Amino acid sequence: METIDRNKKLLSVALRYNAVFVDADRKALAHTAHISKEVAAFLLSLSEKGYVAEEELLNALKTVPESYLGEISGAIDTALGIKLNWTPLVKGWDTPTGESFIDHCITFYANYLGGRERMRGNVLPCGHFIPDGTFPLERYNGCPFCGTPFITSNFIFKGQGSKKKSLRLMTLEDLCKLKSSLLESTVPLDATQVTSLKTLIDVLGFDGREAISMKETSMIVAEALLSKAENDDDIKRAGSVFSSPADILRFLWHKKTGRLQIIEPKTLISHARKLDSHIVSALDKGSEAADRKKQELKLKYDRLMCRTVAIWLNALEMDAGQACEIMHPKRGMWVRMIRALRLGEYSRKPGYERLAKLLDYFYKDDYPVWKGKLDRYLGINCGCVDYPKALELLKQRPGTFARSLFATMLTMGPKMPMEAFRQILDKVPSRLILSLANAADLYFDTESARIARPLTGSTKRIDHNKKLENFTPEQRDELRREIWGLYKEAMTRRFKAEDISGTNGKIFIDKALFDIPVSIGDRSSSIQDTSAALQGTCFQVEGDAVRLFMQWGVGLKAQHLDMDLSVAICYKDGHREDCGYFNLSLPGAKHSGDIRNIPNQVGTAEYIELSLPELQETGAKYVAFSCNAYSYGAISPNLMVGWMNSAYPMALSDKTGVAYDPSTVQHIVRISESNLDKGLIFGVLDVDERQITWLEMPFTSQVVTKMDTSALGSLLRRLKNKLKVGELLQLKAQAQGLTLTDNPEEADEKLRYTYTWALDASAVSKLLA
Ligand SMILES: [Zn+2]
């Protein structure tokens, strides 16, 4: 790999951790060397983009060649979209243009109903005729009628940010540690972490000795290794991360769908139908899309893939009976896979004896099925109910037991299942117990709607379990408390068993950690290129304005590609108003105009400016930020979205309307390619608290008005009710008899829990290990 390419990749990973990669030896860095004028100029440009370098990084920068400073700038510019087109449709859009529905009607009449003959006006480059007296053309950078921009520019503002983000040093050693830490994470990685891990394996390699803690992570590793495999031994090595046929099926399906979990074909097809359905029925392309998806999911494999899977299945160490039992729940998919991969053919070849035995068992269909026995004892489909025997079976599989604990409690009453579960408590992974505790609040509450986030991304409301009605509210509350008690008991037991001798017994817990939920289920699917903040992080608003931005369409040729930035304002009296392309101006919110066609290659932008004093005056409580795809399909892969904030006023160009300043960016995310969502809520502003909570709530709907307000409230509440990292640490401090201190320096090095510490995926997950 070329050095420049390698550096570029490592710089992009480091930047997500608020760091710059310099290949230096940390211990050898001198404090004394003077700052050259090249480094001084570099620091100045960093500052204009909103960054300062920490001392250690500064010392490292003194040692690098000038060309490398340029490479660093390049990586930062890419992450912040500095070279892109940030021109919106309207110039000086802080003053509304006053365009009205009537303007659209008259223009429509002029263009399509022959009214043009009798009118005066201008023909624009897109061919549209704009009658005089309608849209004030001098205010637009493009066609107000069809939303095509004609003017682009690479101008942006700089240096208005009031708060600088500091950048630290990351060496090669740090990046190697980061790689191991991602591999060892016992919680599923989010999209940012997956992207970083892929890059790190690509650049730094994988030697097979590193421990991988999660199935989903092993998919990523296998894919990276397989892409470089040259012979059968390499293939076998790539497959060594798999321990059961289920892993292999998951991998095959991942290759097909790009997702790390198995989603059944029928779900994907119906989701495709939903994405391309249109509110105007003549434009509805739902069934076409469903057909296309069906074709896409047809199983077709080349020789190499067939051989790869044959080698992997043949190398499994698991015994054939057990393997077949694991294959059973997805039997239908396996039958199709075995045929498509021509595994029968391979099983007759010498050297593939184990594969032959596996297929023999599988087709004879005479292996015991655990699930069948369990269903029988639970009385599903037949009358021979035997709860004690069902519990004995469940105890054999702690993970399954944990996942079905609530339902089992409702079926048998809480006492028996809880007793049985306590006996195997030590065998259940902590993160599962934690997710039980988090889920209990909503599960046992019949009042609130539960939100399911199926793997395809869109949010669904599901009704509570009907059996809950057999319990009184007090009993339900008791059930909930029992689960929390169970969780505390399990964690305290685990913390107590930990060896903390050799520390000074003083612990520091950053206050910010009391806002961050311990992440287990709500993985974010966007990629954060500039800083890997955790979902639930609160950002304080400093000035009176918050400016949302969205940039999309980079690298694509000019075409119709309509993405919308909008906000939903929820008022204290319960009503709600939206600001978006359909409503460009509201008290406290102004939109920069709806762009529906993108210019060639450079992308285009939309903004919304929020004024906190005005919002407060009108009685606004929450403002939800959202972006949607109005065009067919999911959100564009090249979409960047975020918000700016500064204690100082932020400029807005009268000439072009450009309002982007990277130094004022508080948070920015990139929508990843595997994102199947139609719309995404990416932040909620609490007007009185002057606080923005970053969260991700996908919804399958074309426009923001269809967003479910109660779903939003429910999600916010769930985020609030969830166990926070800070609380978990408090539990640890109690169990281990540690002393809390407000001074990080005073705390033991191993017990210093800062926000930066929490950004490390496996560090937090280690608390749960
Ligand atoms: Zn036009």
Question: Which tens digit of pLDDT belongs to each residue from 529-557?
Answer: 766 666 777 788 988 999 999 988 888 88
Give the percent of the chain with pLDDT over 70: 84
The model's pLDDT over 2-57, given as tens digits with 9 standing for 90+, comes to: 888 999 999 999 999 999 999 988 888 877 678 888 999 999 999 999 999 999 99
- Measured in angstroms, how far is the CA atom of residue 215 from the centroid of ligand 1? 51
pTM for this predicted structure: 0.77
- Measured in angstroms, how far is the CA atom of residue 129 from the centroid of ligand 1? 8
- Measured in angstroms, how far is the CA atom of residue 730 from the centroid of ligand 1? 60
Name which of 303-307, 392-396, 674-678 the model is least confident about.
674-678
Name which of 416-430, 571-585, 687-701 the model is least confident about.
687-701
Report CA-CA distances (Å) from 502 to 52, 505, 744, 748, 751.
36, 9, 18, 9, 11
* Res. 72: pLDDT tops 60: yes
In this prediction, residue 612 has a pLDDT band, given cuts at 50, 70 and 90, of very high
- Measured in angstroms, how far is the CA atom of residue 144 from the centroid of ligand 1? 7
- Measured in angstroms, how far is the CA atom of residue 553 from the centroid of ligand 1? 18
CB-based burial, 27-48: b 16+ in 10 Å, e otherwise: eebeeeeeeeebbeebbebbbb
- Measured in angstroms, how far is the CA atom of residue 56 from the centroid of ligand 1? 54
- Distance in angstroms (rounded) separating the CA atoms of residues 18 and 169: 9
Q: Determine the number of helices (DSSP H) and then strands (DSSP E) in the chain.
A: 29, 28
- Measured in angstroms, how far is the CA atom of residue 589 from the centroid of ligand 1? 26
- Measured in angstroms, how far is the CA atom of residue 554 from the centroid of ligand 1? 21
Q: Across-strand partners of 540? A: 691
- Measured in angstroms, how far is the CA atom of residue 103 from the centroid of ligand 1? 13
Report CA-CA distances (Å) from 413 to 444, 476, 766, 769.
13, 11, 34, 30
Mean pLDDT of the 417-445 span = 82
Selected residue with higher pLDDT from 672 and 223: 223
Name which of 176-180, 289-293, 503-507 the model is least confident about.
289-293
DSSP 541: -
pLDDT at 368: 67
pLDDT at 715: 63
Mean pLDDT of the 686-692 span = 89
- Measured in angstroms, how far is the CA atom of residue 127 from the centroid of ligand 1? 6
In this prediction, residue 455 has a pLDDT band, given cuts at 50, 70 and 90, of very low
Mean pLDDT of the 480-491 span = 86
pLDDT at 12: 94
pLDDT at 532: 66
- Measured in angstroms, how far is the CA atom of residue 277 from the centroid of ligand 1? 25
Q: Which tokens go with 665?
A: 């960016």
- Measured in angstroms, how far is the CA atom of residue 596 from the centroid of ligand 1? 10
- Measured in angstroms, how far is the CA atom of residue 629 from the centroid of ligand 1? 20
- Measured in angstroms, how far is the CA atom of residue 149 from the centroid of ligand 1? 9
pLDDT at 283: 55
Name which of 270-284, 293-307, 416-430 the model is least confident about.
270-284
Between strands 460-462 and 450-452, the pairing is: antiparallel
Mean pLDDT of the 80-95 span = 89
Find the length of the chain.
769
Owner of token pair 């269909």:
365
* Res. 588: pLDDT tops 60: yes
* Res. 703: pLDDT tops 50: no
What is the sign of the dihedral through the CA atoms of 591, 592, 593 and 599? negative
Mean pLDDT of the 501-505 span = 84
- Measured in angstroms, how far is the CA atom of residue 128 from the centroid of ligand 1? 5
Report CA-CA distances (Å) from 769 to 211, 215, 290, 428, 486.
14, 16, 42, 10, 17
* Res. 753: pLDDT tops 80: yes
φ and ψ at residue 666, rounded to 5 degrees: -90, -40
Q: What angle do CA 46, 657, 104 make, to 5 degrees?
A: 150
Measure CA 326 to chain center: 30
How much is the mean pLDDT over the chain? 83
- Distance in angstroms (rounded) separating the CA atoms of residues 517 and 481: 19
The model's pLDDT over 198-218, given as tens digits with 9 standing for 90+, comes to: 999 989 988 777 788 888 888
- Measured in angstroms, how far is the CA atom of residue 1 from the centroid of ligand 1? 46
- Measured in angstroms, how far is the CA atom of residue 562 from the centroid of ligand 1? 14
- Measured in angstroms, how far is the CA atom of residue 479 from the centroid of ligand 1? 61
As a 3-state breakdown, the chain gives helix, strand, coil percent values, each rounded to 5, of 45, 15, 40
pLDDT at 523: 59
Mean pLDDT of the 486-511 span = 87
